[in-house]
Amino acid sequence: MKSVHIENVTKKFGDVLGVSELNLEVKPGEFFTFLGPSGCGKTTTLRMIAGFYYPTTGKVYFDGQDVTTLQPNKRNIGMVFQNYALFPHMTVDENIAFGLQVRKLPKAEIRQKVDRIRGLVHLAQYGSRKINELSGGQQQRVALARALVIEPDILLLDEPLSNLDAKLREETRVEIKRIQSELGVTTIYVTHDQTEAMSMSDRIMVMESGLVKQIGTPQEIYHRPNNRFVATFIGETNMLEMKVTSIKEEVITVEHANGLVLHGLSGGKADGVAPQVGGTIYVSIRPEAFEAGPGDNTIKGTIEFVEFTGLSVNYLIRVNGTSLKAMIINGGSDIKAIGDDIELHIPSRNLYFLAE
Amino acid sequence: MKQQVEYQTSWWSRAPRSPYFVYLLISPLFLILFAYVVYPFYSTFLQSFSGDDTLANYRKFFSLESTANLEALWNSVYISIISVICCAVVGVTMAFLLERYEFPGRRLLSVLVLVPMALPPLVGVLSFTFLYGESGIFPRFFQQLFALEEVPFSLKGIWGVVVVHTFTMYTYFYLTASAAIKGLDPSLEEAATSLGAGRIRVWRKVILPMLTPSIVASSLLVFMVSMASYTAPLMFGVERTMTMQIYLARTNGNLDMAATQSTILSIVSILFLLIMRWYQNRRNYQNLSKGVSVHRSEVTSKPLKTISIFLSFVGTLILILPILVLILISFSKDGAWTIQILPTDYTLDHYKALFTDERTWRPIWNSIQMGAVATVGNILFGVAAAYAMVRLSFKGKSLLDTLIMIPWALPGTVVAVNLIAAFSTESPFAFNQVLIGTFWILPLAYFVRHLPLVFRSTSASLLQLDQSIEEASRSLGAGWWYTFKRIVLPLTLSGIIAGTLLALVQSIGEFVASILLYSTTTIPLSVAIFQKLYAFKFGTACAYGVLQILLILLVLLISEKLSKGSAGSAI
């Protein structure tokens, strides 16, 4: 269990910028996730921690020790690859034992460790199977066992669930989290799937185009995004560009170009946002922020689209020429149809103000 | 299991991180290529300018007073063009018939169609002269049948060369064309037909354009191989070809002229290699759609069926006869076969002698030794070069690739002349020894000629090996060498073995460079066949030939097993 510290790291591939000026501190035992769309630099960062890339500038520290250009085989890391990268010419046990053989452990000890870890990932009966005789989910667990059995200081997971089907992905997600908390190993997880990131992580780093957009706990990222990219990338939201018309004590009043007027609270804004009367501001309203019937910020509109998911009813509502997404928890009441008028309201505390 | 992370700051641990370290790793590869490919080539090039004045040799070559050389150049080009046309017609037709139609005898024919690949050049020409040459079995048969004064027909001269070329090289067209036809999505034709196109239009607008890349690539290849062909002109007595002229100039001791001829032939060959590579990189090969169902039209009408049975019988016969005749003659008594249609007396002695008589066993053992030495070199170089090519990133990759392919494109005759030019004096690349006349010159020639074989097959299997598998091993703590030993090597072994066997078997049968380079103390197998032939010891020559064919079949069988049926092409 080690900490990872990344200091001012920039990685260029020729002229192409992979990661720019990245700073990061992962605490011992933490489950830390790099989240972002493809090409955002998350895998590049992971590979610099693994030692497959060396940073162009900047330093990487494990527990305060500089490992920036240390070769990958000397870092004592465990890594699970997107395609698992299992050795196709070896059995399950041979795959798992590989790292222990490299470390020249006595045979009996290898045997015992392999058996134990195989039990932990629920593959007790599969030791002598060939890799191509396993299902995708089983292969995934072999890859995890192989990375964990060497008792790595840091566990690196590169989109480990992306090759699994939806149901298996959910099962494996829970499984990885269980094993990780059982062993308490520092874990860095790369994914483009926000559900995975939100449900598993202690903290998340959101990246885009080689830049860090925000680092925080899942709740912080969701409820208090720093910028529009994070607000729209994590979950769904209605992002409106509005003008500040008045600021009275706690209440900020904003107006849309189409005439829609809303009131929010000054507590509901991102750090560093200083609304000024007459200035432009972005307002993020999550679909679940809407509540049925009239109240604060009453919205009257026409239904453009309805979607019933069982849990909720999702509406697309036309208000003064702007479409808004609203989600109402299914309370068993009537569901309106396309073309019907609807009246909803947004409690002021559910408005969130952003600068950029 | 705590691992102590150490902070080595010695030169040894820092060097691998330098961006220039990779050039240190690949420098031996370039050194070998420089010493044994570029330098010999350059020596020949220099020698071609050494005469009364710098351009004297070239003036002589292109002089209109004695036109032997120009005639040879023209003949070579002429033979090559005719060979390309004949091979294309036979190869593509065979591919279409076998891939698109169902008729009696198709299965047998589709196996036998590759028989020419199992015939070493010398042995192939040999059996053709036995079958269709002036004193061959067929001409004599018809002569006696019709009681003629002379044989009614026989293979000789340029047309003999073309027939042999067609027989041995149509497989290049057949392989690429049948692969292309297999990849031809039938729904494309159906789509064209549904849009109202007639049969001819479908052919012209859909099928031919799809086949063009494979036909062009094979044409270039056949042209190159024909230009380099030496054995067929030698056996059919066509002296006015480039390769024969080089051979004659060399045996007459006119080394400067041989160098000039070699240089000109090399330029043609390398030009073709470059065109071929450019074309292959430019052309995007047909997109293979998945689950293609090749629909074979069945031949149903009675007369057509009879014709097809007859034709496939004839085809089968033509393909199998060269091997049968070799086997037959290998059992015949030397000297007893004179004017009869078939040999009269038979014996097992030749086969016994192969392994018991010191004099007949010697050339086999020589070739095995020299081939083994060359192949060990090919493995070391080929595996290292393939790994560098696939896994390392450095400037000069395409140069490395081209340099490896050049010896393969050069005619064997030229390779020999180049080595003579470079190594008939002491050379630093031969540890200040003269190599000509020693045991080592032939292994070196084999090594150079078969440079791409191990390289190609190894890089093909390396390309299939996902890089993340190596990274996984590294992340588990294994160093580079441990990873190579336990992961890379086992997973690419089948490719390495396939290339190695091919290189070995080709070295054992190599004739073209051997005939120019061999020393009397280490006569290789192919030269021994040639000598036995001229001593009228047909039986022994054919027994050698059969042995070679068995060896090749064995190698093909093993390679097929290793690659699990995926047919590799020679390109």
Return per-residue pLDDT of chain B as tens, 571 residues.
344 444 445 555 566 667 777 888 888 899 988 888 888 888 888 888 876 677 777 877 887 777 888 888 888 899 999 999 999 999 988 888 888 888 878 888 888 888 887 788 888 888 888 888 887 888 888 888 888 887 777 888 888 899 999 998 888 888 888 888 877 777 777 777 788 777 788 777 777 777 887 888 888 888 888 888 888 888 888 888 888 888 888 888 888 888 888 888 888 888 888 888 787 776 554 444 444 455 677 777 788 888 888 888 888 888 888 888 888 888 887 776 767 777 777 777 778 877 787 788 888 888 888 999 999 999 999 999 999 988 888 888 888 888 888 888 888 888 888 888 888 777 777 777 777 778 888 999 999 988 888 898 888 888 888 889 999 999 999 988 899 999 998 888 888 888 888 888 888 888 888 888 888 888 898 888 888 888 878 888 888 888 888 888 888 888 777 765 433 333 2
Is B491 in Cβ contact with A88 (below 8 Å)? yes
pLDDT of the residue at B284? 52
Residue-wise pLDDT for A82-107, tens only, equals 888 999 889 999 999 999 999 999 99
Query: Within 10 Å of residue A57's Cβ, how many Cβ atoms?
Result: 12
| A39-43, Cβ contacts within 8 angstroms, sequence gap of 24 or more | A39/A209, A40/A207, A40/A208, A40/A209, A40/A210, A41/A11, A41/A207, A41/A209, A41/A210, A41/A211, A42/A190, A42/A192, A42/A207, A43/A158, A43/A159, A43/A190
Within 13 A of A141's CA, how many CA atoms are on the CB side? 25
CA distances from B310 to B92, B304, B317 (A): 20, 10, 11
- Residues of chain A positioned with their CB less than 8 A from the CB of B482: 102
Q: Which residues of A make CB contacts under 8 Å with B?
A: 50-52, 54, 62, 65-67, 69-79, 81-83, 85-89, 98-99, 102-103, 105, 146-147, 150-151, 156
Cβ neighbour number for residue A340 with a 10 Å cutoff: 12
Q: At A315, list the tokens.
A: 């509406």
Between A35 and A356, the higher pLDDT residue: A35
CA distance B322 to B115: 9
Residues in chain B: 571
Per-position b or e across B87-121, b if 16+ CB within 10 A of its CB? bbebbbebbebbbeeebebbeebbebbebbbbbbb
Q: Do B475 and A72 touch (CB under 8 A)?
A: yes
Name the residue among A5, A7, A24 with its Cα closest to residue A63: A5
User: In whole angstroms, what is the distance from residue A325 CA to residue A327 CA?
Assistant: 7
Strand A16-26's sheet: what is its strand order?
A16-26, A4-13, A57-62, A65-66
Q: Choose which CATH entry (1.10.3720.10, 1.10.3470.10, 1.10.1240.10, 3.40.50.620) describes domain B28-41+64-285+298-336+349-562.
A: 1.10.3720.10
User: Hey, are the CB atoms on A98 and B468 less than 8 Å from each other?
Assistant: no
Q: Given this model, what pLDDT does residue B283 score? A: 56
Distance from CA of A315 to the nearest CA of B (A): 42
Q: How distant is the Cα of A75 from the closest Cα of chain B, in angstroms?
A: 7
Q: What tokens were used for B268? A: 């043609």
- Chain B residues near residue A70 by CB distance under 8 angstroms: 5
Of A70, A75, A89, which has the smallest distance from its Cβ to B491's Cβ?
Answer: A89
Helix extents (H) in B203-301: 208-228, 231-235, 242-251, 255-282
d(CA B167, CA B116): 7
Contact A87 B487 (CB under 8 A): yes
Question: Measured between CA atoms, how close is B383 to chain A, in angstroms?
Answer: 20
Chain B nearest C-alpha distance from A355 (Å): 42
The chain A residue lying nearest B468, using CA atoms, is A85
Question: pLDDT for A302-315, tens place per residue?
Answer: 999 998 888 888 99
Contacts of B554 (CB under 8 A, 6+ apart): none
**ipTM associated with this complex:** 0.81
| A197 to chain B, closest Cα gap in Å | 24
Do B490 and A86 make contact, defined as CB atoms within 8 angstroms? no
The shortest C-alpha distance from A250 to chain B (Å) reads 54
Confidence at residue B564, expressed as pLDDT on a 0 to 100 scale: 57
CB-CB neighbors (< 8 A) of A140 in chain B: none
CA–CA distance, B301 with B295 (Å, rounded to integer) = 18
Instruction: Please indicate whether, in this complex, the C-beta atoms of A99 and B474 are within 8 angstroms of each other.
Output: no
Q: Do B475 and A105 touch (CB under 8 A)?
A: no
Pairing of strands A31-35, A65-66: unpaired
Looking at CA atoms only, how far is residue A76 from chain B in angstroms?
7
**B477 and A74 in contact by Cβ < 8 A?**
yes
- Provide the shortest C-alpha distance from residue B462 to chain A (in Å): 14
Work out the number of other CB atoms within 10 angstroms of the CB of residue B380.
Answer: 14
A18 φ/ψ angles, rounded to the nearest 5 degrees: -90, -55
A76·B5 Cβ contact <8 A: yes
Reference A256, options A227, A299, A288, A286; nearest CA is A299
CATH 2.40.50.140 location in chain A: 236-354
Distance from CA of B25 to the nearest CA of A (A): 18
Residue B558 distance to chain A (closest CA, Å): 20
- The reported pLDDT for the residue numbered B218 is 85
Here the tokens at position B205 are 């607008």
Distance CA A283, CA A352 (A): 6
pLDDT of residue B334: 76
B194 touches chain A (CB under 8 A): no
Yes or no: say if B243 and B411 are a contact pair by the CB < 8 Å rule. yes
Question: In angstroms, how far is CA A12 from the centroid of its own chain?
Answer: 24
Residue B3 identity (one-letter amino acid): Q
Cα of A57 to nearest chain B Cα, Å: 14
Q: How far is the C-alpha of B232 from the C-alpha of B238, rounded, in Å?
A: 8
Which residues in chain A touch residue B395, judged by CB atoms under 8 angstroms apart?
A: none
CA distances from A73 to A270, B374, B465, B477, B488 (A): 43, 36, 20, 4, 16
Q: How crowded is residue B287: how many other Cβ atoms within 10 Å of its Cβ? A: 8
Within chain A, all domains assigned CATH 3.40.50.300 are found at 4-231
The phi and psi torsions of B184 (rounded to 5 degrees) equal -75, 115
> β-strands A154-158, A77-80: how paired?
parallel
Checking if the pLDDT of A203 tops 90, the result is: yes
DSSP for B296-327, written as a single string:
PEEP-SHHHHHHHHHHHHHHHHHHHHHHHHHH
Interface test with B, best of A2, A52, A131, A144 (most B CBs within 10 A): A52
Model pTM score: 0.78
Do the bridges between strand B297-298 and strand B101-102 make them parallel or antiparallel, or are there none, so unpaired? parallel
DSSP 8-state secondary structure symbol assigned to residue A224: S
**Tens of pLDDT, residues A135-172:** 888 999 999 999 999 999 999 999 988 888 888 888 88
- Across the interface, which of B3, B472, B487 has its CB nearest the CB of A76? B3
Of B6, B466, B490, the CB nearest to A83: B466
Residue B304: predicted pLDDT: 80
- Mean of all residue pLDDT scores within chain B: 82
Q: Which residues of B fall within a CB distance of 8 Å from A150?
A: 1, 476-477
- Of the candidates A65, A182, A86, A198, which has an alpha carbon nearest to the alpha carbon of residue A139? A86
pLDDT value of position A122: 87
- Among B474, B476, B479, the residue with its CB nearest the CB of A150 is B476
Q: Which tokens is A239 given?
A: 């992002």
Tracing tokens 């149901």 back to the chain, one arrives at A167
- String of DSSP letters for A182-194: HHT-EEEEEES-H
Tokens of B94: 């065979």
CB count within 10 Å of CB A10 equals 15
Q: How far apart are CA B370 and CA B507, in angstroms?
A: 8
Between chains, do A73 and B476 touch, taking CB under 8 Å as contact? yes
Q: What is the distance of C-alpha A334 from the center of its chain?
A: 36
Mutate to test the interface with B, among A1, A87, A153, A183 (most CBs of B within 10 A): A87
For chain B, the farthest-separated pair of C-alpha atoms sits apart, in whole angstroms, at 95
Q: Report how far residue B228's alpha carbon sits from residue A84's, in angstroms, rounded to the nearest whole number.
A: 49
CATH of domain A4-231: 3.40.50.300
What is the DSSP-derived secondary structure letter of residue B104? T
3 state SS of A14:
coil
Contact A338, A288 (CB under 8 A): no
B191-195: long-range contacts, CB 8 A cutoff, minimum separation 24: none
Q: In whole angstroms, what is the distance from residue B82 CA to residue B159 CA?
A: 9
Tens-place pLDDT, residues B440-483? 889 999 999 888 888 988 888 888 888 899 999 999 999 888 99
Which CATH code is given to the segment(s) A236-354? Answer: 2.40.50.140
d(CA B453, CA B457): 6
Strands of the sheet with A77-80, listed across from one edge: A77-80, A154-158, A186-191, A31-35, A203-208, A211-216
- What 3-state class would DSSP assign to A277? coil
Q: Which pLDDT does position B293 carry in this prediction?
A: 53
Residues of A in contact with B476 (CB under 8 A): 73, 78, 98-99, 102, 146-147, 150
pLDDT for position A278? 86
Amino acid (1-letter code) at residue B352: K
Q: Which residues of chain B are within 8 Å of residue A151 when distances are taken between CB atoms?
A: 1
Longest Cα–Cα distance in chain A: 76
* Chain-chain contact of B5 with A67 (C-beta, under 8 angstroms): yes
Chain A: closest CA distance from residue B184 (Å) = 31
Q: Which of A52, A89, A103 sits opposite B1 (nearest CB)?
A: A103
User: By the 8 A CB rule, do A68 and A54 touch?
Assistant: yes
Contact of B7 with chain A, judged by CB distance below 8 Å, is answered with yes
**Does B472 sit within 8 Å of A81, measured CB to CB?**
yes
Can you read off the two tokens belonging to residue B136? 């061959």
**Residues A214, A201 contacting (CB under 8 angstroms):** no
Q: How many helices (H) and strands (E) does chain B have?
A: 28, 2
Pick from B5, B472, B478: CB nearest A85: B472
* Token output for B447: 């090594």
Per the CB < 8 Å rule, is B487 touching A54? Answer: no
B475 and A73 within 8 Å at the Cβ level: the answer is: yes
Q: Mark yes or no for CB contact B478/A98 under 8 Å.
A: yes
E strands, B329-467, in order: none
End-to-end CA distance of chain B: 51
* pLDDT recorded at residue B319: 87
- CB proximity B300 to A under 8 Å: no
The CA distances from residue A246 to A261, A263, A267, A333, B290, in Å, are 11, 9, 15, 37, 64
Helix (H, G, I), strand (E, B) or coil at B84: helix
Tell me whether B292 touches chain A (CB under 8 Å). no
- At A123, which amino acid appears? L
